[in-house]
Amino acid sequence: MGNMKLTLKIWRQSGPNDKGRMETYPVHDVSEDMSFLEMLDVLNDQLVRKGKDPIAFDHDCREGICGMCSLFINGEAHGPGRGITTCQLHMRKFKDGDTIYVEPWRSTAFPVIKDLATNRSAFDRIQAAGGFVSVNTSGNLVDGNAVPIPKHDADKAFDAATCIGCGACVATCPNGSAMLFTAAKVSQLALLPQGRPEAKRRALAMVEQMDKEGFGNCSNTGACEVECPKGISLEHIARLNREYLAATVTKE
């Protein structure tokens, strides 16, 4: 057990219809080797032992890849530190005596389920609108090496494909835009020969769905790129815009 003492100010909200409020919790015995979520585990353990309702928060892999964890810590999506998710944040980033503010993602398109857990199904619907290559399962497709892909393109597509769908970009955007998320998928598939045939249709369909879900407009503040745990670059938004423009031009 460690010896840091902290004060947590945590958003509590019993359900979507509750107004919600910040509540204060002291935590003791925090060690700097703990992850932020392990620190919350300690707090929840104490709450349960007292018969109180523990704090609800989403998490699963706890290694920065599933995209489930989603906390707004001291005013930053995924907290202090760049290129990491909430579950990868460790307590050595904090000092004994610190007060830490913990809130859920805030976006009209991500309604709160309870406390710090939100509903991000809007992302799934954007994906379902066009985030795929229309290919059926079949045992006799062309050989994987039939179409060589320049390493540079493959690497760039890969960089875009590392998006974990966490929603930090939305939570951090002053307009609540989902452009970075949407652009990452459009860009990945546009960069690969397999995705090219549907590139324009995909851009149109995904952007249309994004607008339907109530995400805000992108005004190029660049905040998303800064907070994105996977370093998804604004370059992809530029590529999405190009695909989208090309698509609207040919459509008209």
CA angle 155, 247, 215 (to 5 degrees): 80
Determine if 165 is a binding residue for ligand FES (CB under 6 A): no
Determine if 64 is a binding residue for ligand FES (CB under 6 A): yes
Distance (Å, whole) CA 111 – CA 153: 37
> Tokens 């100010």 — which residue?
9
Binding-site size, ligand FES (CB under 6 A): 13
Smallest separation (angstroms) from other proteins to the CB of 195: 5
Smallest separation (angstroms) from other proteins to the CB of 220: 26
Determine if 92 is a binding residue for other proteins (CB under 8 A): yes
Determine if 27 is a binding residue for other proteins (CB under 8 A): no
- Which has the closest alpha carbon to 73: 44, 108, 110, 35? 35
Burial grade of 50 (CB within 10 A; 0-12, 13-18, 19 or more): exposed
Distance (Å, whole) CA 157 – CA 177: 22
Contact partner, 184, from ligand SF4, other proteins, ligand FES, none, Cβ < 5-8 Å per class:
ligand SF4
The sign of the torsion formed by the CA atoms of 123, 163, 112, 114 equals: positive
**What part of residues 187-216 is at the interface with other proteins (CB under 8 A)?**
188-189, 192, 194-195
**What part of residues 112-171 is at the interface with ligand SF4 (CB under 6 A)?**
163-169
Figure out which of the listed residues 34, 40, 55, 68 binds ligand FES, where binding follows CB under 6 A.
68
